[in-house]
Amino acid sequence: MTTNRRKFLGNTGMLLGAACVLPLLDGCDNINKRRKSGGIGGGLKLSFEPYELQLKHVFTIASYSRLTTPVMLTKIEWDGYVGYGEASMPPYLGESHETANRFLKSLNLKQFSDPFRLNEILAYVDSIAPGNCAAKASVDIALHDLIGKLLEKPWFKILGYNQENTPLTTFTIGIDTPEVVTEKVKEASPYKILKVKIGRGNDEQMINTIRKVTDVPLCVDVNQGWKDKYEALDKIHWLKEQGIVFVEQPMDKYNLDDMAWLTQHSPLPTIADEGVQRLVDVPKLSGAYSGINIKLMKCTGMREAHKMINLARSLDMKVMIGCMTETSCGVSAASQLSPVVDWADLDGNLLISNDPFLGVTVENGKIILPDSPGIGIKEL
């Protein structure tokens, strides 16, 4: 890590010592006392810098391949404390270093002198310009991290979740030659469920290759690769015989009529990924899919992801929480919500070779949340 990188990440400072309550109740007693005495003042300070993630292997899905992912690393400083965030921007999101830089520069967080006004601050961020969901998520994550550090609590505790209820995480096997797929599966032996990318015409080859190596449960991500609902249903029946758990985004995200038909006849759950982005999308997907895959980079961060989980549950839909290729910053933030979901695909940090943070870990395939304030990360 370069000197500039270390300087940017910095230290999070000393933590406040008092026991705290939910941040949306405006913080804890010692913070309020310091406000009254004049010990706290000034607005939030946002800073950011571009970073390029290096993948360990070529990452191939139904529509493209890549070896890198651009991210924007953010931090919000207030009263000597620092919260860290991240915007990960794979190609299909339509964001880049340039767009994230432009959006983040347009924000004036100095007008907010109280980080506990989470809803007000994030509503302002969302209102500045449409889209830019990953850039918005980087602010949301940094603000959550900051608040958790001020409260001296990890977010899973602030939300009242039991860290023992974290699920297994899938480990992703991208589309490749049988030789490379075999090697990837062997490397993934510690994981108890694998997520297999298919949809490029070699679906059976991918699954058969993996089944020669392991009999662990699999889920598949088609990334909109199937075009005909009848052929898709035939494939799903075959996949069920191979021990597949669910099918993610089998068809075009705009084709809700065919998706509803497929879900109605499918022997496996169908999960929307590209087909769902934000809270407003969830109700229209009820009946078209069995569940949704929530990603912080799509939905603008932890605040909206939490709302999406609750809304999906009210509609009797399954919930998966996923990620892009991200550092441990983004993955650890998403992991704070994992104790209340059905499935998790939180391996993005495990697919890169230059992670600048240490956070959530995986033991025997299970997500292990660090009992650390905020989103639970520290710099390497």
pLDDT tens for residues 89-116?
988 789 999 999 999 999 999 999 999 9
Q: Is 222 helix (H, G, I), strand (E, B) or coil?
A: coil
Please give the structure tokens belonging to residue 26.
Answer: 């405006």
The 270-272 sheet, strands edge to edge? 171-173, 194-197, 218-221, 244-248, 270-272, 291-295, 318-322, 343-345
CB of 317 closer than 8 Å to CB of 330:
no
Axis crossing angle, helix 328-335 with helix 302-314, rounded to the nearest 10: 40
Q: Are strands 366-368 and 361-363 parallel, antiparallel or unpaired?
A: antiparallel
Give me the CATH number covering residue 150: 3.30.390.10
- pLDDT tens, per residue, the chain with 380 residues: 444 444 444 433 322 222 333 444 444 554 554 444 344 568 999 999 999 999 988 777 665 677 899 999 999 999 999 999 999 998 878 999 999 999 999 999 999 999 999 999 999 999 999 999 999 999 999 999 999 999 999 999 999 999 999 999 999 999 999 999 999 999 999 999 999 999 999 999 999 999 999 999 999 999 999 999 999 999 999 999 999 999 999 999 999 999 999 999 999 999 999 999 999 999 999 999 999 999 999 999 999 999 999 999 999 999 999 999 999 999 999 999 999 999 999 999 998 999 999 999 999 999 999 999 999 999 98
* Angle, vertex CA 115, rays to CA 78 and CA 310, nearest 5: 140
Q: How many domains does the structure of the chain reveal?
A: 2
Assess whether 133 and 243 both reside in one domain: no
- Domain boundary pick from 124, 156, 188: 156
- CB-facing half-sphere around the CA of 195: CA atoms within 13 A: 26
pTM: 0.88
Which of 363, 377, 371 lies closest to 169, judged by CA? Answer: 363
Based on the domain organization, do 101 and 208 belong to the same domain? no
Reported as type and span, the H/E element at residue 351 is none
Same domain, 166 and 306: yes
Residue 74 phi, psi (nearest 5): -120, 160
From 156, 179, 209, give the residue that closes a domain. Answer: 156
**Domain extent at residue 316:** 158-379
Q: Could you tell me if 75 and 202 lie in one domain? A: no
Judge if 126 and 170 occupy the same domain.
Answer: no
Let me know how long the chain is.
Answer: 380
CB 139 within 8 A of CB 87: no
CA distance 254 to 92: 15
Same domain? 20 vs 74: yes
Domain stops at, among 129, 156, 183:
156
Please tell me whether residues 190 and 281 are part of one structural domain: yes
Name residue 343's beta-bridge partners: 320
Residue 241: CB atoms within 10 Å: 9
Domain containing 256 — which CATH number? 3.20.20.120
Measured in Å, how far apart are the chain's first and last C-alpha atoms?
8
Angle at 69 between CA 58 and CA 144, to 5 degrees: 135
- b/e sequence 38-58, b meaning 16+ C-beta within 10 Å: eebeeebebebeebebebebe
Residues 171 and 117 reside in one and the same domain:
no
Classify burial at 319, counting beta carbons within 10 Å of its beta carbon; exposed 0-12, middle 13-18, buried 19 or more: buried
Here the tokens at position 84 are 């860290």
235 and 282 housed in the same domain: yes
163 and 299 belong to one structural domain: yes
**330: number of Cβ within 10 Å:** 34
Per DSSP, the residues of 252-297 read: -TT-HHHHHHHHHH-SS-EEESTT--SGGGHHHHBTTBSEEEEEHH
Q: Are residues 345 and 211 part of one domain? A: yes
Can you name the residues that pair with 77 across neighbouring β-strands? 45, 82
Cite the beta strand spans of the chain per DSSP E. 45-60, 65-78, 81-88, 171-173, 194-197, 218-221, 244-248, 270-272, 291-295, 318-322, 343-345, 357-358, 361-363, 366-368, 378-379
- The mean pLDDT of the chain is 90
Residues 301 and 233 in one domain: yes
Q: Can you read off the two tokens belonging to residue 102?
A: 């432009």
Q: Are 333 and 144 in contact (CB under 8 A)?
A: yes
